[in-house]
Chains A and B, each alone.
Chain A
């Protein structure tokens, strides 16, 4: 029902544009001119999980060592498709004496190409 209406209106918008509205324009000079549109969005790493399996902090937050999220504290995906904070997995990998494994699936850790 809602979809129908929306479609209907959209159709209406695109098809009825022009002629018929001339008399309206003489009274009130619509359309309003938009001089600025300032939108708001949030960013996300779009990982499958919410939190990093190593530090338990949110992916869209940052690792315990970082002050700022986003570019400064990126995510990295392994070949196994598990994601971690870059700083977290690097620490993890470096701390492993022999071979490093993904903390989640125990498979050998490889950065995703």
Chain B
């Protein structure tokens, strides 16, 4: 019982002034007694709050020192809390200063459990300290209340006293803890919530998987017996799962209850927002990881729905339980939560309907879903290039992205990111024009889904179109892609052997047949629509023929838009068609007729004149006529005419394609002297033609056509399909096994350079060898004697039945559009050179306009901007000109 020399608060000085010595004595005594019993109370002696304590409090109150009583008591609580409970609490976590790093080095379940136990223990300890202090505070409140009750009008603010003191106390607790908060504590909380959520997620995932198992069963029919056994085993297990389902939920709830307890305790210590931050960030982190895990690099499944159901299954379930748990406990101001609240929250959390989810939960759901949409969207946008490469297999990913963007409205992100990916990955010298075009088409198709209005497509397509316009082979590649399903794109994914026209047409037809999207079974689709909150896009929901037709027009329009003039496209097609037709050894042109029909159909839609395709029709008609005429001639030719049988040549194996050359593109004619036997056939054939079709005559294009040869070796026979010149070369060797190049060239009537180029085919097959002759210009070609040591073919014992001579020699029978243009443009070359000498550098437009201005006659400049550009890029590649920043210069 020693005196506490606490100076009285300044506010009470006026009271002291009015005091008598007696009352001073009484005050000093009561205060000393009050202080001492407070001290012993706080050190754990509950008996210190006997009637003495109450009367001391009353005495001090009598002297108007109620605030002194309160302040001293609270100060004592604070001192005790600050010097005992708090350091003890923080000390618990000293060993876990860097929980993230520790986890890596120590790791394991043990470590996890230890950390959890430490947290639980520390929280329990400090909570019980706090509970004791609150009990003490309650005693003070009662003493003060009983003092007030002795006045008749004091009753009304009894609760005020209690509220006031407890709120000051809570404030004190929070500020003491906050002021001494070690930095690693929030980190530890974050880690704790993260681990707990992960555990919860694993258990819930297990349930979801078990639930999914049911859906797998319908394809039981396709399984063999063995599989069926497994399936029934599986469905047997299903029943067990059904019964364990409840158990699992309870287990979850245990987990939830633990989390709830921690959150509750922390809140009561004043860590409300820190706690919320910790579990919120843990939830978002987990959600992000889940999105990445589900989405990954697989674009062939939609992941949006799984993500959303995961949100509902894991974080929302937890939050629901948590909110219910906390909501219940917060309303009761009892220090320890009642046992019934976790049970109550369990019941509401596992009822499927969540009949009326609290507003807080709906906000959470919106937050989480937005975050998931944004995360998935960013993920998909960053991989959009790959996704489009994978299109249409990746259309589920595109569909997901579409929904995400509709939600977030961040389309501009897509445009920027995709354009930079294009620049970096596609629009480079290394990418083939074909690859660029195919990516362009896939981009159009894919982005049309996301952006039916085509606004972003326009922005994304522009750099590709610009780039393609600078390439020389663009038109050719476009025509190939449109019309040719075979040779177009060797590394295209998806359907090969189908031209783009055919594909677009098929889309249209499948639609006419009421086509449903193939890989989307209707039930699933319905489920998807039901489950989804989204309003289906009106265009998507009602795919009328018109809209799909529009799609075809748009895609074609965007492709043809790369080429400046539509006539250029038809010209290019005509050259390719000519090339194809001239290399046919049968008269089968069904595919070409079909393609031309498709092309005509789209010419109507994208407005290039049908008349410009008239020539193509005549070319096809020539083939049909040729077949008929060829048959007539062969059937009516006089059999008596001598045929040199020794070369194995008879009219039976001879056929001709007769063309109306006026309607064909210019044909590359090369002189060629055919073997005598063949010449004989040609003469007889032409004679008969003239007889039948008087006065029409045939003019042979000796270098054109195809010849099938069979070369016999010791162990095998190999077939070759070659051009007449190759045949003429090899046939010369039947009488003479060795030729000098000059003599052989003369024998077949071609320039030596042509011979040297063409004979390479036979050299590459190991049938002819080349050696230097006496004259260094004159090579010697010798037939290989015996093929087992025939070098290049010798190693390959497999007998190849047919080797086509075709692409390996870029020799074509038809002058390409480029060559034709080149020929026509050469007259302007000197003008262009002259202009550039005078002006230094000029942009394309300016060259074009100047030519238009000055070349008004002989010959009039009538070329399009694109034609000029393609001619200029030819001059650039010949190193006559240079192109820098859109300006042409003379190459120095």
B-contact 0/1 string along A28-41, CB 8 Å cutoff: 11111111111111
Is B808 part of the contact surface with A, judged by Cβ < 8 Å? Answer: no
Residue picked from A13, A21, A41, most chain B C-beta under 10 Å = A41
B-contact 0/1 string along A8-48, CB 8 Å cutoff: 01101110110001001001111111111111111111100
A17 to B614, CA, bound (A): 51
The contact sample of 25 A-B pairs, CB cut-off 8 A, is: A9-B732, A24-B785, A28-B783, A28-B784, A29-B713, A32-B730, A33-B648, A33-B710, A34-B727, A35-B653, A35-B708, A36-B707, A37-B727, A39-B656, A39-B682, A39-B685, A39-B724, A40-B813, A41-B656, A42-B701, A43-B660, A58-B662, A60-B660, A71-B693, A75-B695
A37 touches B654 (CB 8 A): yes
With CB as the reference atom, state the residue of chain B lying closest to A2: B746
A41 touches B676 (CB 8 A): no
Residue picked from A24, A39, A69, most chain B C-beta under 10 Å = A39
A60 to B649, CA, bound (A): 32
Residue picked from A5, A10, A33, A38, most chain B C-beta under 10 Å = A38
Q: With a CB–CB cut-off of 8 A, which chain A residues contact B708? A: 34-37
B697 touches A44 (CB 8 A): yes
Is B589 part of the contact surface with A, judged by Cβ < 8 Å? Answer: no
With CB as the reference atom, state the residue of chain A lying closest to B785: A27
Q: With a CB–CB cut-off of 8 A, which chain B residues contact A105? A: none
How far does the Cβ of B721 sit from chain A's closest Cβ, in whole Å? 9
How far does the Cβ of B634 sit from chain A's closest Cβ, in whole Å? 12
Q: With a CB–CB cut-off of 8 A, which chain B residues contact A35? A: 653, 708-710, 719
Is B253 part of the contact surface with A, judged by Cβ < 8 Å? Answer: no
8 residue pairs, one from A and one from B, having the closest CB atoms: A29-B712, A40-B704, A42-B661, A31-B734, A27-B785, A5-B746, A36-B708, A33-B710
A-contact 0/1 string along B410-431, CB 8 Å cutoff: 0000000000000000000000
Q: With a CB–CB cut-off of 8 A, which chain B residues contact A40? A: 582, 656-657, 659, 700-701, 704-705, 813
Q: With a CB–CB cut-off of 8 A, which chain B residues contact A21? A: 734-735, 737
With CB as the reference atom, state the residue of chain A lying closest to B651: A37
B658 touches A69 (CB 8 A): no
Q: With a CB–CB cut-off of 8 A, which chain B residues contact A41? A: 656-659, 686, 698-701
Is B474 part of the contact surface with A, judged by Cβ < 8 Å? Answer: no
How far does the Cβ of B587 sit from chain A's closest Cβ, in whole Å? 10
Given contacts A16-B735, A28-B784, A34-B647, contact A42 B698 (CB under 8 A): yes
How far does the Cβ of A8 sit from chain B's closest Cβ, in whole Å? 9
Q: With a CB–CB cut-off of 8 A, which chain B residues contact A42? A: 658-661, 664, 667, 698-699, 701
Given contacts A6-B746, A34-B648, A40-B657, contact A69 B734 (CB under 8 A): no
B-contact 0/1 string along A51-79, CB 8 Å cutoff: 00000001011000001111100010000
How far does the Cβ of B697 sit from chain A's closest Cβ, in whole Å? 5
A24 to B784, CA, bound (A): 9
Interface size on A, residues (CB 8 A): 41
B621 touches A68 (CB 8 A): yes
| Cβ < 8 Å to A, chain B residues 751-777 | 767
Residue picked from B732, B736, B786, B813, most chain A C-beta under 10 Å = B736
Given contacts A28-B786, A31-B647, A60-B662, contact A38 B657 (CB under 8 A): yes
A9 to B701, CA, bound (A): 23
A9 touches B662 (CB 8 A): no
B673 touches A6 (CB 8 A): yes
| Cβ < 8 Å to A, chain B residues 713-736 | 713-714, 719, 724, 727, 730-736
A8 to B600, CA, bound (A): 54
How far does the Cβ of A39 sit from chain B's closest Cβ, in whole Å? 5
A39 touches B747 (CB 8 A): no
8 Å CB contact of A43 from B699, B705, B746, B787 = B699
Given contacts A9-B743, A13-B735, contact A39 B654 (CB under 8 A): yes
A69 to B704, CA, bound (A): 22
B-contact 0/1 string along A68-101, CB 8 Å cutoff: 1111000100000000000000000000000000
Residue picked from B625, B646, B735, most chain A C-beta under 10 Å = B735
A38 to B702, CA, bound (A): 10
Is B749 part of the contact surface with A, judged by Cβ < 8 Å? Answer: yes
Q: With a CB–CB cut-off of 8 A, which chain B residues contact A71? A: 625, 693
Given contacts A24-B783, A37-B707, contact A32 B734 (CB under 8 A): yes
How far does the Cβ of B461 sit from chain A's closest Cβ, in whole Å? 38
Q: With a CB–CB cut-off of 8 A, which chain B residues contact A61? A: 660, 662-663
Is B23 part of the contact surface with A, judged by Cβ < 8 Å? Answer: no
Excluding A30-B734, A33-B648, A70-B625, 10 further A-B contacts by CB distance (< 8 Å) are A5-B746, A9-B732, A12-B735, A21-B734, A34-B731, A35-B719, A37-B705, A38-B705, A42-B698, A60-B660
With CB as the reference atom, state the residue of chain B lying closest to A14: B676
Is B825 part of the contact surface with A, judged by Cβ < 8 Å? Answer: no
Q: With a CB–CB cut-off of 8 A, which chain B residues contact A67? A: 614, 617-618
A16 to B713, CA, bound (A): 22
With CB as the reference atom, state the residue of chain A lying closest to B718: A32
A46 to B696, CA, bound (A): 6
8 Å CB contact of A70 from B614, B660, B702 = B660
How far does the Cβ of A27 sit from chain B's closest Cβ, in whole Å? 4
A38 to B678, CA, bound (A): 11
Q: With a CB–CB cut-off of 8 A, which chain B residues contact A16? A: 735-736
Q: With a CB–CB cut-off of 8 A, which chain A residues contact B724? A: 37, 39
With CB as the reference atom, state the residue of chain A lying closest to B786: A27
Is B873 part of the contact surface with A, judged by Cβ < 8 Å? Answer: no
A37 touches B662 (CB 8 A): no
Given contacts A35-B653, A38-B585, contact A44 B696 (CB under 8 A): yes
Is B354 part of the contact surface with A, judged by Cβ < 8 Å? Answer: no
A32 to B719, CA, bound (A): 10
A12 to B727, CA, bound (A): 19
Q: With a CB–CB cut-off of 8 A, which chain A residues contact B618? A: 67-69
B696 touches A70 (CB 8 A): yes
Is B289 part of the contact surface with A, judged by Cβ < 8 Å? Answer: no
Q: With a CB–CB cut-off of 8 A, which chain A residues contact B625? A: 70-71
Q: With a CB–CB cut-off of 8 A, which chain A residues contact B734? A: 21, 30-32
| Cβ < 8 Å to A, chain B residues 784-820 | 784-787, 813
A43 touches B663 (CB 8 A): no
With CB as the reference atom, state the residue of chain A lying closest to B621: A68
Q: With a CB–CB cut-off of 8 A, which chain A residues contact B661? A: 42-44, 60
B735 touches A17 (CB 8 A): yes
B621 touches A5 (CB 8 A): no
Q: With a CB–CB cut-off of 8 A, which chain A residues contact B621? A: 68
B707 touches A34 (CB 8 A): yes
Q: With a CB–CB cut-off of 8 A, which chain B residues contact A30? A: 711, 733-734, 783
A29 touches B707 (CB 8 A): no
| Cβ < 8 Å to A, chain B residues 679-695 | 681-682, 685-686, 689, 693, 695
Is B85 part of the contact surface with A, judged by Cβ < 8 Å? Answer: no
Q: With a CB–CB cut-off of 8 A, which chain B residues contact A24? A: 737, 783, 785
Q: With a CB–CB cut-off of 8 A, which chain A residues contact B443? A: none
A37 touches B653 (CB 8 A): yes
With CB as the reference atom, state the residue of chain A lying closest to B586: A38
How far does the Cβ of A46 sit from chain B's closest Cβ, in whole Å? 5
A39 touches B736 (CB 8 A): no
Is B741 part of the contact surface with A, judged by Cβ < 8 Å? Answer: no
A66 to B625, CA, bound (A): 16
A33 to B743, CA, bound (A): 24
How far does the Cβ of B711 sit from chain A's closest Cβ, in whole Å? 5
With CB as the reference atom, state the residue of chain B lying closest to A27: B785
A36 touches B655 (CB 8 A): yes
A37 to B662, CA, bound (A): 24
How far does the Cβ of A11 sit from chain B's closest Cβ, in whole Å? 11
B698 touches A29 (CB 8 A): no
Q: With a CB–CB cut-off of 8 A, which chain B residues contact A36? A: 585, 653-655, 706-708
With CB as the reference atom, state the residue of chain B lying closest to A3: B746
A108 to B123, CA, bound (A): 125
8 Å CB contact of B709 from A5, A17, A33, A38 = A33
A34 touches B709 (CB 8 A): yes
Given contacts A39-B656, A40-B659, A46-B697, contact A28 B709 (CB under 8 A): no
A70 to B663, CA, bound (A): 12
